[in-house]
Homo-oligomer: A and B are copies of this chain.
Amino acid sequence: MSYDISTPEEAEQAFYQAFELADIRAMMSVWAPSHDIICIHPMSNIQLGIQAVEEGWKQIFASGQKMHFEVILQQETVCETLVSRTVQENIYLHGESRPRPPMLATNVYRLTDDGWRMILHHASPAVLANSSRGRPANPPVH
């Protein structure tokens, strides 16, 4: 599936919609079909390249967990062919009225021949309280 995505905002909207629908075809159509795309799910290692990224989404979607995203833009930096957007993700699981602890995601989009495509999604848990512990004197326990 190839179609034009005319803005990074439109790509971002399509990304979270595909995530909510657990639609692997729609999800992968948001990404640039490139060897150098990167996806980092929370507390996970790097998935590098289109095949690894697709495999990662298939595993997530296989859980069958439906969710809704409230996405709050924190910062955006724009260049002619590259846009970086950092957002807070408030995630509601199906059947729950309160969101899970929020995630922070940096999403990077590149202008391709087919319009704007995601090339990087780096998501990690936000810790809203006692967040000044710093690193690596107190590294997270694995």
Q: Which residues of A contact B (CB under 8 A)?
A: 36-38, 40-46, 48, 56, 59-60, 63, 65, 67, 74-75, 77-82, 84, 86, 88, 91, 93, 100-101, 103-104, 106, 108, 110, 119-120, 122-128, 131-137, 139-140, 142
B134 and A59 contact, CB distance less than 8 A = yes
CB contacts (< 8 Å) of A37 on chain B: these are 75
**Residue of B whose beta carbon sits closest to that of A44:** B131
Closest to A60 in B: B134
Q: Which residues of B contact A84 (CB under 8 A)?
A: 82, 84, 108, 120
Q: CB distance A120 to B77 under 8 Å?
A: yes
Q: Once bound together, how far apart are the Cα atoms of A65 and B133, in whole Å? A: 12
Q: Which residues of B contact A128 (CB under 8 A)?
A: 45
Chain B residues contacting A106 (CB-CB under 8 Å) are 40, 106, 108, 120, 122
When C-beta atoms are compared, the residue in chain B nearest to A91 turns out to be: B136
Q: A57 CB to closest chain B CB, in angstroms?
A: 9
Name the B residues within 8 Å of A43 (CB-CB): 124-125, 127, 131, 133, 140
Is A134 within 8 A of B41, CB to CB? yes
